[in-house]
Structure 1
Amino acid sequence: MTPTNRLSKLVKATAKLPQGIRSRLWSKVFGRVVPMVGSAHIRYLEVSHDKVVVKIENHRAMQNHIGQVHACAMALIAETATGFVTGMNVSDSCIVLIKSLKVDFKRPSKGAMIATATLTDEQQKLMQNTEKGETLVSVQVTDESGEEPVQCEMLWAWVSKSQLKN
């Protein structure tokens, strides 16, 4: 059985709701917890202990000078998906922190963007059973064509909240 924290309990509590309502609810709640996520209108499509999928539409506020999703918005959805899948697994006594991110832009994007972050069983167990650690979280960022205009690497760390006070 997978250990739970406050974030995973919230996700579990919404499990019986229809997908559309669940997605809107997660997006609203998580957008209040992380205001930038709310301002960007990121939608949470799927949230579990091993996978988080988020979407950003190609709306005016998130566009660059040529009408595509801005480079920073692409990095934001990769960071958001990987951060939330990490957050689903660490103890409430810990805090998650991004340690490094790398984004390589491969080609122009087309339309909305989706980031899919995944964790292996081993990564989940490490997060659930240790008070401090780090791991490279896999993420795929695709556009409406199904292609990957960017490739990202996100290194996440977690530490005990008590360690931050020292």
Structure 2
Amino acid sequence: MNSALVLWKRCEGLPFGKAIFSRIICFKAPYFGSIRPRFEEFRPGYARVSMKKRRAVTNHIGTVHAIAMCNLAELAAGTMTEITIPKTMRWLPKGMTVEYVMKAESGVEAVASVGEIAEGPAREVPVAVDIRDAAGETVCRATIAMWVSPRRKA
């Protein structure tokens, strides 16, 4: 089992466990800490990560900034891909397409999902991310192209 998934399973049932897990992930990848994400659900093929609306993630019109949502999408997609791929594979985000559907006037959550990723040759795997506001309305859609390839043999 992937070390991130093992850590999630250890933290999930603890008081403040989801917050602890989220802080550990942001310690490992500090840039994501700028949005203060919180992992809500995390399993192979699926991740749900939330972000509160606060001044640091808003734009000049008082809504959640588009790039903060992109940051959230990449975090959800990347960590989910990490625990979904076989141990013999590795991944790297190659690109992202984003559609801003409507203004995000509340906190948001990103839901990343992908089907099974089997061992095989290097290839691009699209990971869909839907970002929803507090009312459950989609405010942003992203597709992150993950380059999945075999790990180099040591």
TM-score of the alignment, normalized to the shorter chain, above 0.5: yes
Matches within 5 A, 1:1-166: 4-15=1-12, 17-18=13-14, 21-92=16-87, 94-120=89-115, 123-124=116-117, 126=118, 129-130=119-120, 132-162=122-152
Secondary structure of the corresponding residue to residue 149 of structure 1: strand
Q: What is the distance in 2 between the residues matched to 1:131 and 1:25?
A: 36
Give the number of aligned pairs: 154
Indicate the structure with greater strand content.
Answer: 2
Shift of 1:134: 2.5
**Shift of residue 141 of structure 1?**
0.6
RMSD: 2.1
Helix, strand or coil at the partner of 2:49: strand
Gap regions ≥5 residues in structure 1: none
Distance 1:27 1:112 in 2: 16
Q: Distance in 2 between matches of 1:131 and 1:84?
A: 21
TM-score for the superposition, normalised by structure 2: 0.88
Identity among equivalent positions (%) equals: 24
User: Whose helix fraction is larger, Structure 1's or Structure 2's?
Assistant: 1
1:143 positional shift: 0.7
> Distance between the aligned counterparts of 1:131 and 1:22, measured in 2?
37
**Deviation (angstroms), 1:11:** 2.0
| TM-score of the aligned structures, taking structure 1 as reference length | 0.82
- Does structure 2 conserve the Cα–Cα contact (< 8 Å) formed by 1:96 and 1:157? yes
CA contact (8 A) 1:31 1:37 kept: yes
2:84 is paired with a residue of what secondary structure?
Answer: coil
- CA deviation vs aligned residue, 1:128-148 (integer Å, no higher than 9, x gap): x33633311122110112111
Change (3 A) 1:81 1:68: same
